[in-house]
Structure 1
Amino acid sequence: MDIDTSVPHPARRYNYWLGGKDHFAADRESGDAIARAFPIVVELARANRAFLRRAVTFLSEQGVRQFLDIGTGLPAPDNTHEVAQRIAPDARVVYVDNDPIVMTHARALLQGDPRGRTAYLEADLRDPEAILGHPALKETLDLTRPVALLLVAVLHFVHDDEQVAAVVRRLRDALPSGSYLVLTHGTMDFSSPEGIRAYEQMFARGGTDVRARSRSMIETYLTGLEIVEPGIVRVSDWRAEDRPEDRPVSDNLGIYSVVARKP
């Protein structure tokens, strides 16, 4: 297992922001630098995790029993299979990540209900053919039946706009009618001019690996899908369970969220 702990990794940095223990000095330094520039980022990371729980709950209640979670990150409370299998013990989940540390922890800790099935594969979002053709996916999911494709806070780590569009299209095309796309993505749409300048400067010098995108660009990934209410909204607003005044709001960073169904 080839792991360079001197280079920050998004999954380990996210784990750090969520209060986990599976990170290294480079991840903490990167996380702290981003948080200094954008203090809301830790709250947004937690809001993003809460959205995942709400979205998986909603889909499970709609009868979805298969989940493909790409860019899963390190185990944390309310992992996809835990949420889904609380509602439907026979739910099946495939986790995908490109960090071998994530996969090692996943295999050791993410033990699902034996009435369902949970699988883990090390692969990169940018290679959808490797994901779709992996034996673990084929053994776990039936791609003739609806699947929820989870792309939660992962697309913004791919900087090439055309590549992202092609990846989403290929993954969507592999799924049957009745499947869902669950997506969150970093944006500067809600930002002040000062916030945008700070982001652009940090991105240009490599201080952040997040490629923020606009609502209009995110909408192109949803062409032909039926968008579930309340639509494309801030991650903390999607079928929220708390009061609006308790949700993180900032003029320097934001995350869009959406759930959409393939007709």
Structure 2
Amino acid sequence: MRDEAAVGRPEQEAGEWQPPVELNTGIPHPARMYDYYLGGKDNFPADREAAEKVIAAMPDARLGARINREFLSRAVEFAVQQGVRQFLDIGTGIPAVGSTGEVAHRVAPDARVVYVDNDPIVLTHSRALLAHHPVGHTTVLHADLRDPDAILGDPGLKEALDLSRPVALMLVAVLHFVRDEEGAADILARLRSALAPGSLLIMSHGTQDFMTPAAVAETTRIYSRASSPLVLRSKDQVQELFGDFEFVEPGLVQLPLWRPQADLPENWQQAAPAYAGVAVKR
């Protein structure tokens, strides 16, 4: 396995890489909308317009994005504490403070991280960031969660990760953009089956359980016009996606309640309509 800042495909040098698909800036993309919620600048007018509509329906959406990012950080730190040194982050979004790689390499410099996303601007930004600020063994791949076999079979992943050893599979605020008819359950089953015993599934997932009917209707309407629709699921539905993996304490809980390290912010119940959990493959 190679030690490299980032690769799109094994045969490409960082300076030669080009986005593998045409970038459509006129259609909102969830990753760029999330970047806007977090205060980032890697978004376009269509993303900002859609995100502002979500904020109008859910005034605490920005806080919810920060709460989600904080969960990611705590979960990555937990994985490292359990001895995991390999991370597969699918639907990574645009890297920002507290990203998987930043947290993992801060506490375990030898950790290997593979970022996977289907948005060219995510890939471009990730590669540029890593090229100028190498943070260890990090690989960036262009692929879609809806095609798990393409992800698992990618030469870049095979060179970066040893799937015969434990891996932390990160699906943070991404699976709610995959519809049931697109095979969300089958996708998870395929990814889980590829992991070795001792691997972790780290997931957060949007839910309607803590939202008003009006907020559910408006938010799903806005995302229906984005590149991926929003599919909110109940606690039972989210729990089923973990399969036979065994939850670590405190189990599947509302997002901010997963091992908080500080006092919960005001309005956290409304700001974070999502479940979060970490489960281990025995």
Superposed pair shares fold, TM > 0.5: yes
Residues 75-99 of structure 1: CA distance to partner in whole angstroms, max 9, x if unpaired?
1002211111111111000000000
Hey, what's the Cα distance between the residues in 2 that align with 1:231 and 1:188?
Answer: 19
Equivalent residue number for residue 208 of structure 2: 188
Q: How far is the alpha carbon of 1:156 from its aligned partner?
A: 0.4
Find out whether 1:103 has 2:103 as its counterpart.
no
**C-alpha spacing 1:24/1:222, structure 2 compared with 1 (3 Å):** same
TM-score by length of structure 1 reads 0.93
- Preserved contact between residue 37 and residue 198 of structure 1 (Cα < 8 Å): yes
DSSP 3-state at the match of 1:249: helix
Matching residue within 68, 84, 87 for 2:107: 87
Matching residue within 46, 50, 75 for 1:26: 46
Hey, what's the Cα distance between the residues in 1 that align with 2:219 and 2:173?
Answer: 19
Equivalent residue number for residue 174 of structure 2: 154
Find out whether 1:17 has 2:34 as its counterpart.
no
Matching residue within 49, 54, 76 for 2:74: 54
**Alignment gaps of 5+ in structure 2:** 1-18
Equivalent residue number for residue 224 of structure 1: 244
**C-alpha spacing 1:161/1:248, structure 2 compared with 1 (3 Å):** farther
Matching residue within 159, 172, 175 for 2:192: 172
Find out whether 1:200 has 2:217 as its counterpart.
yes
Give, as a single letter, the amino acid of the residue that structure 2 aligns with 1:3. Answer: L
Q: Which of structures 1 and 2 has the larger relative contact order (alpha carbons within 8 angstroms, sep 6+)?
A: 2
DSSP 3-state at the match of 1:55: helix
- Preserved contact between residue 92 and residue 116 of structure 2 (Cα < 8 Å): yes
Hey, what's the Cα distance between the residues in 2 that align with 1:10 and 1:66?
Answer: 26
Equivalent residue number for residue 44 of structure 1: 64
Hey, what's the Cα distance between the residues in 2 that align with 1:121 and 1:253?
Answer: 29
Matching residue within 228, 248, 251 for 2:268: 248
**C-alpha spacing 1:132/1:4, structure 2 compared with 1 (3 Å):** same
- Preserved contact between residue 53 and residue 83 of structure 1 (Cα < 8 Å): yes
Equivalent residue number for residue 232 of structure 2: 212
Aligned residues: percent identity? Answer: 52
Find out whether 1:142 has 2:159 as its counterpart.
no
Equivalent residue number for residue 257 of structure 1: 276
DSSP 3-state at the match of 2:256: coil
Find out whether 1:121 has 2:141 as its counterpart.
yes
- Preserved contact between residue 34 and residue 207 of structure 1 (Cα < 8 Å): no
Find out whether 1:71 has 2:91 as its counterpart.
yes
RMSD over aligned CA atoms reads 1.7
- Preserved contact between residue 81 and residue 118 of structure 1 (Cα < 8 Å): yes
Hey, what's the Cα distance between the residues in 2 that align with 1:25 and 1:197?
Answer: 25
Structure 1 runs of 4+ with >6 Å offset: none
**Alignment gaps of 5+ in structure 1:** none
Hey, what's the Cα distance between the residues in 2 that align with 1:101 and 1:31?
Answer: 17
Q: How far is the alpha carbon of 1:242 from its aligned partner?
A: 1.5
Hey, what's the Cα distance between the residues in 1 that align with 2:103 and 2:139?
Answer: 15
**C-alpha spacing 1:176/1:31, structure 2 compared with 1 (3 Å):** same
Q: How far is the alpha carbon of 1:219 from its aligned partner?
A: 1.1
Give, as a single letter, the amino acid of the residue that structure 2 aligns with 1:49. Answer: R
- Preserved contact between residue 187 and residue 253 of structure 1 (Cα < 8 Å): no
Q: How far is the alpha carbon of 1:202 from its aligned partner?
A: 4.8
DSSP 3-state at the match of 2:54: helix
Alignment coverage as a number of residue pairs: 257
Give, as a single letter, the amino acid of the residue that structure 2 aligns with 1:99. Answer: D
- The farther-off stretch of 105-114 and 33-42 is 105-114
Q: How far is the alpha carbon of 1:112 from its aligned partner?
A: 4.1
Q: How far is the alpha carbon of 1:247 from its aligned partner?
A: 6.1
TM-score by length of structure 2 reads 0.87
Hey, what's the Cα distance between the residues in 2 that align with 1:201 and 1:90?
Answer: 44
